[in-house]
Each structure stands twice: as C-alpha cells, then as structure tokens.
Structure 1
Amino acid sequence: MIELLGVQKSFGHNHVLRGVDLKIARGTSMVVIGGSGTGKSVLLKSILGLVVPDAGTITLDGTDVTKTDRDTFLARFGMLFQGGALFDSLKVWENVAFRLLRGAKALPKDQAREIAIEKLRRVGLKPSTADQLPAELSGGMQKRVGLARAIAAEPEIIFFDEPTTGLDPIMSGVINALIREIVVEMGATAMTITHDMSSVRAIADTVAMLHDGKIRWTGPAAEMDAASDPYLQQFIHGRAEGPIESVR
C-alpha cells in the first residue's frame, strides 16, 4: 500500500535518510525501530508530506504522494502523536471530533459529539470524560483520547509516533493492546515508530530497523529474535556492546 524507494533527506550536512527502501502491505502493522536520532520521525513526516525528500519516491497505492490532492491524501490518515498533541482549550470530545467538525464534509455538532463519545468508549473511557478538558486527565487517559481522535474518521492508514512514551509499564500494555485490537478490528494499515520493544512485540506484524539512514533489516516480527543481523540483535536486546556506537 505504501512504498518508499531510495528516499533521501538531509538537513544541511546532517544526512538523515540515506536511501530508504520500505514496503508496507495493506492491512498490516509495520513497526519501524531504531535509536533516537536515527531518522524515524523524518521518515514518517516524509510519508505524510510534512518533509519533502531530496531524492527517491514515496507512493500510496502506486501514486506518487507529491502528485495527489493534499486534502484527499491526508483524509486517508489518522495519527496518534507522541505527546498527545491535544488542544488545551477544547473539551475532550471536541479534540476527538476535531476533523469531523471541519472541512467540506463537516458533520453537525451533535452528530460529531455522538461519534466522539462512541470512540471514547472504544478506547475505554467513560462518556463523562467527553466534557472534561485535557488538563484534567492523566497521561494515560490523554493518550487514549489521542487514540480516539486518530480513529474518529475511520482512516485507512494510522500512524503511531512513540505511542507509549511517558507511560508506566501497565498503561503501556493497555495502549499496546488497544492499538492492536483497533488496527485488526478496522482492517487498517498501520505504521508505528518506536524504540519500546514491548510495543514492537505487542503490535507488529512486520518490523523494519532504521540505522544510519537506511533500513538494516526488515521481516516478520516472529523472525526478529532469530535474525543474524548484529545491529538488530544489539538493539532488541539493549546490549551496550556491539556495532551500534553509544554516546559516552
């Protein structure tokens, strides 16, 4: 469904992506792993068109993403942001229904609110949460509101940017389980970027490791532990010694 061929991106002398080749099959959950600063976020932003690659092509259903109508293109996506990215001044239901209330296909307010409450229920939040402000919620609840917003418009493709950052192990497990259930339930194509191996094992069908601007390894999640790539093995087991240099 999504294909990247030879994607490169530099910022001045900092060569972030050095020729990324990656395929994400329709209806599957792809998780991209890699250390901090390896270009995972730049890769995601390139697919969304927020960053323009210096070279290479990115296609969605065989069509170059730079040659499609932006509104039509982005309408196919949902996004769970790393920090939640909720609007402080809007009530929870207004955050969830943000897309539904805007644009040429905007829904009436009462209908959008009804959908928002249903999506809040889907992520385990009570209807009473709808009229609260984000600041009144815990970090885990805010993350679930962000997930409800990501699925509110029934997108075909959902991106998850470090979905468990800042959460305790129990809440991380809750979020991982919700993501897996929702992706399967919706039949969506998912791409997650993370360095949390518990998330990888919980939600990935396939895994790709990004290192030094290129995909070092990609394959089914079930084959990850038996793979021979030394970079992958060092990363997934958190070893201090190996080919990946740590900053000391």
Structure 2
Amino acid sequence: MIKFDNIHKSFGANQVLRGVDLTLERGQSMVIIGGSGTGKSVLIKTVLGLITPDIGKIYVDGQDVTQAKRDNFLSQFGMLFQGGALFDSMPVWQNVAFRLQRGHLKRPKAEAREIAIEKLRRVGLAPDVADRLPAELSGGMQKRVSLARAIAAEPEIIFFDEPTTGLDPIMSRVINELIREIVVEMGVTAMTITHDMTSVQTIADKVAMLHGGVIQWCGTRDDMAHSGDPHVDQFVHGRAKGPIETLC
C-alpha cells in the first residue's frame, strides 16, 4: 500500500533520511520506532506531500505521490496528531466532522453531525459529548475525539503520531487497545510512530527501526525481542549504553 524507495532528505547540513527503503502491505499495522530527531515524522510528511524528498520515490497503492491529484489522494488518509490538534473554538462534533464539511467529501450538516456522533460512540464517548468544547474534556477524552476524527471519513490509511503522549499508563493502554480494534475492524493500513513500547506491543503487526537515516531493522512484533540487532535491543530495553548515542 505504501512503498518508500531510497528516500533521502536533508535540511541544510542536517541529513535526516539517508536512503529509506520500506514497504507497508495493505491492511498491515506498521510501527516505526527510533530516537527523537531521527526522521520518523519526516517520513509521514513525505507521504502526504508536505515535504519533498531530495532523492527517491514514494508510492501509495502503486501511484507516485508526486503525480497524484491532491484532493482525491489526501482523502485516502486519516491522521491522529501527537497533541490531538483539536480546534478549540469548535464543538466536538464539528471537530470530528471537519473533513465532512469541506471539499468533495462535504455532507449536509445534519448528516455530518450524525456521522460524528456515530464515530464518537465507536471510540467510547456518549452522544452528549458532541456539543461540548475540547477544553471541557479530559486528555483521554480529547484523544478519543481525535481518533474519531481520524476515522470519520472512512480512510484507507491512518497515521498515528505518538498516540499516547501525555496520557497516564491506564489511559495509554485504553487508547492503544482502541487503536488496534479500529485498525483490525476497518482493515486499514496503519503507520504509527512512537517511543512507547507498550504501544508497539499492542498496535504493531510489523516494526521498523529508523536510525542513522535508514531502516536499521524491520521484522514482526514477536521477532523484535530476539532481533539480533544491538540498536533494537538497546532501544527496546531502554539502555543508556549501546550503539545509540545519548546526549546529556
């Protein structure tokens, strides 16, 4: 469904991606792990066309992303942003139905609201949440609203950017399990970037480690524990000493 072919990207003298090769199969949940600043978010932005690689090609469902018609192309994607990225001035239902009120996906207001309430129910929120403002909700509820928005337009591909950031361990587990349920239920292709190994264990079918601008290792979730790669081993176990340098 998504193929990265020799992706390079530099920002001035900072060479972030140095030849990324990675394939996500249709319906697969891939989790990208790696330290801060290794280029995980840059990978997502290159797929969406927000960043153009210096070298290499990206294909979505066999199509070169640089040749795609933007509206139709972007309608394939849903996104759960790291900070939620809800619009403070809009009630919850309008946040969820944001894409359903614009462009070629536009629905009548009543229909968009009905879909929003249905998606809120899917993530475990009652209909009475629909007319509240994001500021009136807890962090966990805001994350659920963001997830409802990500699935509102029935996307084929969903990106999850650090989905448990800012949540306590209990709510993190709830969100991880909810993401896994939705990915399986909808049959979407999912790409998650995270530092949270609990998220990896819950969400992933396959895991890829981005380090030094390349995919250092890629394998199944179960293979990760005995990958044989010292970078993966250090990251998974959170060791200060190892081939991944730490800055103090």
TM range (shorter): over 0.9
Within-5 A mapping of 1:101-112: 101-112=101-112
Tell me the amino acid that sits aligned with residue 192 of structure 1.
Answer: T
CA distance in 1, matches of 2:181, 2:103: 29
Q: 2:42 aligned with 1:4, yes or no?
A: no
TM-fit CA distance, 1:6: 0.5
Offset of 1:104 from its aligned partner? 2.7
SS of residue in 1 equivalent to 2:20? strand
Give me the TM-score of the superposition, normalised by structure 1.
Answer: 0.99
Note the C-alpha offset of 1:105: 3.4
SS in 2 for 1:17: strand
Q: Which residue of 2 aligns with 1:115?
A: 115
Q: Give the aligned partner of residue 198 of structure 1.
A: 198
- Which contiguous aligned blocks of 4+ residues in structure 1 show a shift greater than 6 angstroms? none
* Other-structure match for 1:19: 19
- 1:161 is the counterpart of 2:161: yes
Query: What's 1:222 paired with?
Result: 222
1:190-244 C-alpha deviation (Å, 9 max, x unpaired): 0000011000000000000000111000011110001100000000000111000
Aligned counterparts of 1:139 and 1:9: Cα–Cα separation in 2: 34
DSSP-derived class of the 1:166 partner: coil
Helix, strand or coil for the counterpart of 1:104? helix
Identical-residue share of aligned pairs (%) = 71
Q: Distance in 2 between matches of 1:206 and 1:170?
A: 24
Determine the C-alpha separation between the residues in 1 that align with 2:207 and 2:64.
24
Q: Distance in 1 between matches of 2:214 and 2:233?
A: 16
Q: How does 1:62-73 map onto structure 2 within 5 Å? A: 62-73=62-73
In the alignment, the residues of structure 2 paired with residue 212 and residue 49 of structure 1 have an alpha-carbon distance, to the nearest angstrom, of 23
One-letter amino acid of the structure 2 residue matched with residue 85 of structure 1: A
Give runs of aligned pairs for residues 60-99 of structure 1, distance below 5 A.
60-99=60-99
Cα distance in structure 1, aligned partners of 2:168 and 2:72: 37
> Does the aligned pair in 1 maintain the 2:19–2:214 contact within 8 Å?
yes
Q: State the one-letter code of the partner of 2:35.
A: G
Aligned to 2:187: 187
Distance 1:165 1:104 in 2: 32
| Letter aligned with residue 136 of structure 2 | E
1:85 match: secondary structure: coil
Alpha-carbon RMSD: 0.6
Query: Is 1:35 matched with 2:35?
Result: yes
Unaligned runs of 5+ in 2: none
Secondary structure of the corresponding residue to residue 135 of structure 1: helix
- Equivalenced residue count is 248
Q: Letter of the aligned partner of 2:207 in structure 1?
A: V
Helix, strand or coil for the counterpart of 1:132? coil
Q: Secondary structure at the match of 2:103?
A: coil
TM-score by length of 2: 0.99
Unaligned stretches of 5+ residues in structure 1: none
User: In structure 1, how many angstroms separate the alpha carbons of the residues matched to 2:75 and 2:192?
Assistant: 18
User: Deviation at 1:62?
Assistant: 1.4
Once residues 165 and 140 of structure 1 are traced to their aligned partners in structure 2, the CA distance between those partners, rounded to angstroms, is: 10
User: Is residue 2:131 matched to residue 1:131?
Assistant: yes
Give, as a single letter, the amino acid of the residue that structure 2 aligns with 1:188.
V
